[in-house]
Amino acid sequence: MNAESSHPVISSISNKLDTLTPKAQTLGTYIIQNPSKAVFMTTKELAESCDTSEATVVRFVSALGYKRYSDFQDALKDFVNTGLSLPDRAAIKGIKEEGTDRLHREVLEEISNLKHLYEHIDIEIMNRIVDYLDESQTVYVIGSRLSYTFAYYLGWSLTKVRKGVHILKGSDTTTLDLLTNAPPSSLIVLAACTRYPNELIKLSKMIRRGGHTLISLVDSAICPVNQFADLSIVVPGRSIPFIGNVSGMLVTIQYIVQELANRRGDDMADYQKQLEQMYLENDILFNLD
C-alpha cells in the first residue's frame, strides 16, 4: 500500500488528526490503517466498525473538505487502487469464490462504471483535446503494458480520420529515438492506467523537456504523469478493477475520435476515400465482391 504522504486524502487525515474529536480520531486512524476495507464501507458500516455514529462519519468527511461521503470514497478509491497488488485485487473480486455469476456481476459493474463516467467526465477537457488533435500536424500516441491497448485503439482510430498519426510502445526504447527526432511542438497523447509503469513517467519527463505538447489519458487524478502534462483527461471508474476498467476508456476514445471526425467534414471524407481505394487495390480487407 502507498505511503501516507502519497495521496491527499490520507495526508489530509494525518495532518488533521490531532485537531479532531476523539471519535473522529478513531475514524481517521481506522481509515489510515485499513483503507482497502474502508473504501467499500457505507457510512453505517464505517460507523459501526469504529463504534461511533453515522453523523460523526458525515462530519468527519466534511472536515476533510468533501461535500459528500461518495466524494470521499472516490478519493480513497484512487489511493487504494494505485497501491493494490494482483493478489489483493483477486481477493477483492472474489476470484476463488464458487458459484459466483461473474458474467452478470461484471456487466453490472461496467454499467455502474459507465454511469459514473457519464456523471463525472469533464466534457470541456475532452473537447479541448479534440482541438489539439484537429490543429496539430503530427500526433504520437503512446502507451505501455495495459495502457498500450488503449493507446493502440486511439491511434488506430485516429488514422481513419486524419494523417500524421504515429503509435508508439512505451516499453520499446526506440520510442526515445523517435521522440527525440519528432518535429518541434508535436502533440503527444500518453495513456496510463494503474498500476502506472515507470517507463511512462520517464517518457513524460522527456516529452516535457522536449517542448512538445503532452496530453495524458488516465484513470486517476493522482496518476504521476499528470504533473508533466499540458492537459489531462481523467476517465473515472466506480469500481476497483481486477486488471483494469476498460469500458470507460473505450467510450472516451470513441467520443474524441467521433468528435474529431465531425469537425473534419469534407477533408476527412476525401481522406477516407483514399484509404478505401488503397484497401481495395491491395486486397487488404475481405470484400464480398
Q: How many secondary structure helices (H) and strands (E) does the chain include?
A: 13, 5
Q: Is the pLDDT of residue 8 over 80?
A: no
Q: What pLDDT score was predicted for residue 3?
A: 42
Bigger pLDDT: 73 or 136? 136
Q: How far apart (Å, rounded) are the C-alpha atoms in residues 55 and 102? A: 36
Q: Quick count: other Cβ atoms within 10 Å of Cβ 82?
A: 19
Least confident range from 57-66, 102-111, 181-190: namely: 102-111
Mean pLDDT of 160-167: 97
Cβ neighbors of 125 (< 8 A, separation 6 or more) are 231, 232, 233
Please give the distance of CA 263 from its chain centroid, rounded to a whole number. Answer: 25
pLDDT tens for each residue of 18-43: 888 999 999 999 998 888 788 888 99
Residue pointed to by grid coordinates 520499446: 172
168 three-class SS: strand
| Mean pLDDT of the 193-199 span | 92
Q: What is the CB neighbour count within 10 angstroms for residue 197?
A: 19
Which pLDDT value is given to residue 245? 81
pLDDT in tens, 78-132: 888 777 777 777 776 666 666 668 788 888 889 999 999 999 999 999 999 999 9
In eight-state DSSP terms, residue 228 is G
Note the pLDDT of residue 146. 93
Q: Which of 25-39, 158-172, 191-205, 253-267 has the lowest mean pLDDT?
A: 25-39
- Give the residues across from 227 on adjacent strands: none
Pick the CATH number of 121-281 from 3.40.50.620, 3.20.20.70, 3.40.50.10490, 3.30.1050.10: 3.40.50.10490
Share of the chain above pLDDT 90, in %: 63
**197: alpha, beta or left, given left = phi > 0 and alpha = psi -120 to 50?**
beta
Topology given in CATH for the domain delimited by 4-83: Arc Repressor Mutant, subunit A (1.10.10)
**pLDDT higher than 60, residue 194:** yes
Kindly list the domain boundaries of the chain, sorted by start residue.
4-83, 121-281
Q: Is the pLDDT of residue 1 over 50?
A: no
- How much is the pLDDT for 143? 97
Backbone angles phi, psi at 188, to 5 degrees: -125, 120
Q: With bands split at pLDDT 50, 70 and 90, how would you rate the model's confidence at 5? A: very low
* Cβ atoms of 82 and 196 closer than 8 Å: yes
Mean pLDDT score of the chain: 90
